[in-house]
Amino acid sequence: MIGGGGATNQDREIAPLSRGKAKSLAAVATTCAVVLSAFVRAASLSDASSQGAVKWGLPLGYVAPDGSHLPTKYPDPTGKPGKGCKIGYVSPLNAIPGLPDQIQGMRAVAARYGCTFIVKDGGLNPQLQVTGMQQLLAQGATAIVVDPLVPQALAAPIKQANAQHVSIIMQDCPAGTDQANVPGTVSNFDMGHDPAAYAAVRAIAVAKPGAKIGFIYPSFPAANLQYQVDRFKYWAEKLGLTSVGQEGTPDNSNGPTSKAASALIQKHPEVEAIMTFNDPAAEATVAAARSLNRPDILITGVNGESGVTGLIKTGNVLMTWAYNNFANGEQLANAAIDAALGMTIPEKVTAIGAVINKSNVAGYKPPAL
């Protein structure tokens, strides 16, 4: 039970679904110059120097396109909010891989500062998220963190929260740091789609300079995943890779995604690397490449899930970008407590991550499912 006595079923963390089903559902929840040889040599040397260690932070050499340097953490709270502090979190779905670790991080910080912590499971249902926010407000929440399924659906409870002087922190909404925050919210904890894209493109540019690349695109409603692919394309052009095409998948299950990857390879046999929007899509792409006898294709993922880390060990996947989910939870709770204390917090903060490849995968622990 989360947060103490009187919790309803919605205040409990549901048991995680099977990995395959959670992966499929989770995805639905969620919305220039040629590379110089000097760059490749320098990147290779830099990568070699860090082999064997999982290094959390922003990717080596990364600078945001607009030259900005967003913070990667919220300030540590300057005190305890006092009796009655209640931090609420509305998830898209508690069973998303990595979310249990994030929730544990949020709970740990809430307990450290004497706050009750309450979770409302969105269950992949926008209306459940609306209800969850309304319940948290009725329960006296002092700050609420939301990872929204459909941001527009939350307009009414956000307005209600503003009237009650309850701060709202968004997680990964909007998807891009160049986009305006949701009206009525005080901050957005960006999940770092642009750094993740840079890291993946850079890995391909180092392994195969000037590679011809293709993309697996989420054709289903998932703005954040679609934005991820857009950032792949941006950095591919900047780092001298050649885009040859993309194929869309109607959902995140293995069959349709593998079919999309097969179509991409058959339409563009010259393709040398395929970038996927998450790890389940990378797994499906590996299966397609195997079936077409194309083990030479470099494949990248995002999320750091156990299925792909196994494929990295066997050399079937080049790399994935992993998130430090527990640390993300700590930052989200810090933001909520800062807001409850009346502290000024950044309007945008970017999550850290890490490149997981064959050199360091043995020392990496995939997120809890």
The burial class, CB within 10 Å (0-12 / 13-18 / 19+), for 269 is exposed
Q: Please report which residue ranges of the chain form alpha helices under DSSP H.
A: 19-29, 37-49, 99-112, 126-138, 155-163, 193-207, 223-238, 254-267, 279-291, 306-313, 325-340
209-220 pLDDT, tens digit per residue, is 999 999 999 998
Tell me if 9-20+69-191+325-351 shares its fold with 27-67+193-323+357-363.
yes
All structural domains of the chain with their residue ranges: 9-20+69-191+325-351, 27-67+193-323+357-363
Q: 169: how many CB neighbours lie within 10 A of its CB?
A: 27
Retrieve residue 199's tokens: 């890291």
β-partners of residue 360 are none
pLDDT band at residue 237 under the 50/70/90 scheme: very high
User: What mean pLDDT, rounded, does the chain reach?
Assistant: 87
Select 27-67+193-323+357-363's CATH number: 1.10.600.10, 2.70.98.10, 3.90.650.10, 3.40.50.2300: 3.40.50.2300
250-298 pLDDT, tens digit per residue, is 998 999 999 999 999 999 999 999 999 999 999 999 999 999 999 999 9
Over range 90-105, report the average pLDDT: 94
CATH of segment(s) 9-20+69-191+325-351: 3.40.50.2300
